[in-house]
Amino acid sequence: MRKKCLLTPGPTPVPERVLTRMAMPVLHHRHAEFKKLLGEVREGLKYLFQTKSEVIIFAASGTGAMEAAVTNTLCKGDPVLVVRGGKFGERWADICKAYGVNADCIEVEWGKAVKVSDVAAKLKEKSYKALLVQATETSTAVKHPIKELAELAKATDTLLIVDGVTGVGVFPLPFDEWGIDVLVTGSQKALMLPPGLSFAALSERAWKACEKSDLPKYYFNFRKELKNLGNNETAYTPAVSLIVGLHEVIKMYKEETLEKVFAENARMAEATREALKAIGLKLYAPESPSEACTAAWTPESVDGAEVVKRIRDVYGYAIAGGQDKVKGKIIRIAHMGYITRYDIIAGIAALEQTLVDLGYKFELGAGVRRAEQIFGD
């Protein structure tokens, strides 16, 4: 009977007013009422992506739009450069492999951001059709330097394709201003919706590349969707209720303004980092932290998997653990979307209780106090 809270880097909590909108009877997607709403959503997505370009919508999780970015802009055998510093970087490489795109990978140590100079050197060595990277590599809570990478890509014929699933709506990624070529996101992270929608914005260069792309595609077809969106429709039945929810989410973002949302996320990220350090935990990615989520090593004396399980099962706060090589060794806490500074404080309190239960020695309350100090500054 107790309230539960998601502090996971996807899915994140869905606001009550969004849940209420989505509970309304389903609209028909070819009727005027829905088309009007979709027209407003199209405009709202441009606000969120900070672009004048159309944002394509698919009924899929974030990976759907990642796959579409590859299959719509590239050709068989194209050489591309992938930044591989975690599970999502690996996903770019896997998608390329599945479609016969030749990916060279820059292997980035987990917990570190890619070095701009390393990318520059690679781009000098060889002419790449695209550079694929994450805005936040969510598996390691690292933020990659997208603005700098965009500058490099702009000076070449290389398309910059960014997985912004934990970037769009979290921190600034001004699509037009920075000259990103493809920017992708999903519904269940900063957009505070249930999973099931994915999005992609394309630059003029990227739209040109779509005309030449010869990779197989059917449902995930950017050009077909662009044509349909002009008429406030999607090619196939959209996830109507999620789009209604998105309409409300966009209203919330506009009421608060992107600038304020970004500032608050940065504040929550700082408070989380400082609180974890005050408890005595070591940050996993201290040099290039993201405003989307924070990762820290769990103490050696406790089993990281047990921390994640206990804080959820006993205290009702869901956080994420590590994947692959850091499975059972790190925790990840999200601070984006419908998460407030008081959720962070409560989450830190629950973490402290959990660590006490598991026998870790530290000054109880130190993390909560530090977070409150950051918020009070």
Ligand X SMILES: *Cc1c(COP(=O)(O)O)cnc(C)c1O
Residues of this chain that interact with ligand X (CB under 6 A) are 10, 61-63, 88, 134, 136, 138, 163, 165-166, 186, 189, 195
When CB distances to ligand X are compared, the closest residue is 62
Distance from the first to the final alpha carbon of the chain: 36
The residue among 66 and 209 lying less far from ligand X, judged by its C-beta, is 66
The residue among 166 and 203 lying less far from ligand X, judged by its C-beta, is 166
The residue among 134 and 158 lying less far from ligand X, judged by its C-beta, is 134
* CB 195, min distance to ligand X, A: 6
* CB 299, min distance to ligand X, A: 26
The residue among 34 and 338 lying less far from ligand X, judged by its C-beta, is 338
120, exposed or middle or buried, with CB in 10 Å at 0-12, 13-18, 19+? middle
Spatial contact of 185 and 62, defined as CB atoms under 8 Å apart:
yes
* CB 262, min distance to ligand X, A: 18
292, exposed or middle or buried, with CB in 10 Å at 0-12, 13-18, 19+? buried
The residue among 94 and 357 lying less far from ligand X, judged by its C-beta, is 94
SS (H, E, C) 28-51: CCCCHHHHHHHHHHHHHHHHHHCC
Looking at residue 156, the DSSP 8-state letter turns out to be S
3-class secondary structure, 361: coil
The residue among 173 and 278 lying less far from ligand X, judged by its C-beta, is 173
* CB 359, min distance to ligand X, A: 32
The residue among 61 and 353 lying less far from ligand X, judged by its C-beta, is 61
* CB 265, min distance to ligand X, A: 15
Element (DSSP H or E) covering residue 87: helix 87-98
Burial 56-91 (b: 16+ CB within 10 A, else e): bbbbbbbbbbbbbbbbbbbeeebebbbbbbbbbbbb
Spatial contact of 131 and 157, defined as CB atoms under 8 Å apart:
no
* CB 337, min distance to ligand X, A: 12
Count of residues in the chain: 377
* CB 88, min distance to ligand X, A: 4
* Nearest alpha carbon to residue 68 among 241, 291, 235, 242: 235
